[in-house]
Amino acid sequence: MPNVYDAIIIGGGHNGLTAGAYFARDGARTVVLEARNKTGGAADTSAPFSDHPDIKVTTYSYVMSLMPPTIIRELQLKRHGYDVTPFGPYFQAYPDGRAVTVYADDAAKSYDSIAEFSKKDADTLPEWEEWLKGVADVLGPMLLSVPPKVGSMHPMDVLATVQTAWKARKLGVRGVADVTKLFSMSVTDLLNNWFESDAMKGMLAVNGVIGTWAGPDEPGTAYVMLHHSIGDVGDGHLGSWGYQQGGMGGVSDSIRRSAESFGCEIRTDARVKKILVRGGRAVGVVLENGEELRAPVLVSCVHPQIAFLELVDRYELPPDFVWDIERWKTRSGVVKINVALSELPDFIAMPGKNQQDHHTGSVELCFSTEYAERAFQDAHMDRKAAERPFVDGTIPTTLDRQLAPEGVHIFSMFSQWCPDDWNKEPHRDELEAYADRVIDIYTELAPNFKGAVIDRQVIGPYDMEQDLGLIGGNIFHGELSVDQLFHMRPAPGYADYRTPIRGLYHGSSATHAGGGVNGIPGWQAFRQAKKDRILAKKK
């Protein structure tokens, strides 16, 4: 029966591949269906420069942090090419020739660097890290839990809610207050409580606004910072990030190879046009070319507005669920700029084109929380691309020589904001001008920057929506705002990776533990489907 499977996975991003690998490992006849001509979704490596086909970039996502060791081990990802190198310090240079550098593993060097801006902040950093670790130690494991149906009176749901609350007891009274603050405070207010220098606040604020349609002054951004501070790359440093060798496509490729080694079939150029539902149960899919595939279990690993508003007929779904998905917030104003450089930036604050520590980590462009808030307000209130965007910059080629020939470097710039409706039109000229401005600002800090540019790729919300199905250009399949987290991700009552349709599960970044390249949603969707199958057999 060629088109009959035990499990069909819709979407071949890293979550779809993870789900596919787990089903196949469990003995299920599984197929992953990917619309594009390649798998990986937003975890991708590509060669975008036609004049320089030997230069590759990590197209969209750029650093790894949150992949749980369980998934790495069970899918044997290291054997299949998963290879993440912890990256260097956080570095922010200023035009006046000063710079702050914060190391994950060298407290003394961090102290001296921060003390140039504020001795008080240098004294405070260890306390801040300890505080953050305390919260992350409790909330981190919750990323691996299935959110309960809060408010449901079903005895099992009540039990799950109580169990979740019980886990949170470890926080204590003070800790619960801290978590409440994280969920409700702006990252600016939080940082103001701890630090006094723009240098520390600007640098730390970046993690609070990544992928967020909100400036650092907006309540809730403190949580986004925590989300980006929880993981570690296996070296025990909280919130440390790393580069996958060969770019983020290497992560997806390792999961794909793992899936294939377990017998999973992977089909590219296989866009799903419809999910077939009979009597409230998912039974299969129809592809764009008219081909039909059947399976009793389906996992959607695409954006929820594609899955539930396009692929499924709305009358198959409860109206309140449709209402929630229609109103799912999915903006962000992200612009990704991948720049090929003929030499490393020679910063006024840290002279030298030879590779130094500060080149190997986050080369930030966020002078203060006000700087980031201004960039957001340009896009939000003035409806134009930010005059002076903030950038989370990295130079992966300092630790990964697979991307470009000797001597060439890739500067990966994750930046914000352009207006939230730029997903509707390409805005090509404005985005090129935006990239010019970003390069100009870096050139204020490192005068050789502009002259070293070999080529560049500028990706805006329109490209992300058209190419990947990231509706609205949101990088996480939906904003990480407090109203879209945990038991409400992606809709109240359906945060357990199940959907209103029996046999259809949801394992994209729009579910709990997403976004980010961590595989948890795909893994959880598999686990729920397996649990349901076992229960059904027992009946």
Name the site residues for ligand FAD (rule: CB under 6 A). Answer: 10-16, 33-36, 41-43, 60-63, 271-272, 301-302, 306, 334, 336, 414, 464, 468-470, 475-477, 508-509, 514-517
Least CB distance to ligand FAD at residue 168 (A): 25
Edge to edge, the sheet with strand 292-294 lists: 272-278, 281-287, 292-294
Of 198 and 392, which has the nearer Cβ to ligand FAD?
392
Least CB distance to ligand FAD at residue 337 (A): 10
CB atoms within 10 A of CB 240: 20
Structure tokens at 240: 């440390």
Residues with Cβ < 8 Å from 533, sequence gap 6 or more?
Answer: 297
3-state secondary structure of 448: coil
Are the C-beta atoms of 353 and 448 separated by less than 8 Å? yes
Of 67 and 125, which has the nearer Cβ to ligand FAD?
67
Task: Please measure the distance between the N-terminal and C-terminal CA atoms of the chain and give it in whole angstroms.
Answer: 27
Of 142 and 168, which has the nearer Cβ to ligand FAD?
142
H and E: helices and strands count for the chain: 16, 19
Least CB distance to ligand FAD at residue 413 (A): 10
d(CA 260, CA 103): 39
Least CB distance to ligand FAD at residue 515 (A): 3
Are the C-beta atoms of 198 and 368 separated by less than 8 Å? yes
In 17-98, DSSP assigns E strands to 30-33, 45-46, 57-58, 84-86, 90-93
Least CB distance to ligand FAD at residue 228 (A): 9
Least CB distance to ligand FAD at residue 346 (A): 26
Least CB distance to ligand FAD at residue 482 (A): 18
Owner of token pair 């909330």: 139
Are the C-beta atoms of 522 and 16 separated by less than 8 Å? yes
Of 175 and 250, which has the nearer Cβ to ligand FAD?
250
d(CA 168, CA 139): 8
Residues with Cβ < 8 Å from 128, sequence gap 6 or more?
Answer: 194, 195
Of 90 and 94, which has the nearer Cβ to ligand FAD?
90
Least CB distance to ligand FAD at residue 171 (A): 25
Of 35 and 125, which has the nearer Cβ to ligand FAD?
35
DSSP secondary structure code for residue 473 in this structure: G
Least CB distance to ligand FAD at residue 419 (A): 17
Are the C-beta atoms of 293 and 285 separated by less than 8 Å? yes
Are the C-beta atoms of 470 and 59 separated by less than 8 Å? no
Q: Kind of pairing, strands 334-341 and 453-459?
A: antiparallel
Of 376 and 476, which has the nearer Cβ to ligand FAD?
476
Owner of token pair 């990231």: 470
Of 60 and 195, which has the nearer Cβ to ligand FAD?
60
Residue 63 burial by CB count (10 A; 0-12/13-18/19+): exposed, middle or buried?
A: buried
Of 121 and 364, which has the nearer Cβ to ligand FAD?
364
DSSP secondary structure code for residue 327 in this structure: T
Least CB distance to ligand FAD at residue 534 (A): 26
Of 33 and 100, which has the nearer Cβ to ligand FAD?
33
d(CA 169, CA 268): 46
Least CB distance to ligand FAD at residue 42 (A): 3
159: Cα separation from own chain's centroid: 31
3-state secondary structure of 275: strand
Between 107-115 and 119-142, two packed helices, what is the crossing angle to 10 degrees?
130
Of 175 and 333, which has the nearer Cβ to ligand FAD?
333
One-letter identity of residue 339? V
Least CB distance to ligand FAD at residue 232 (A): 13
337: Cα separation from own chain's centroid: 16
Of 39 and 197, which has the nearer Cβ to ligand FAD?
39
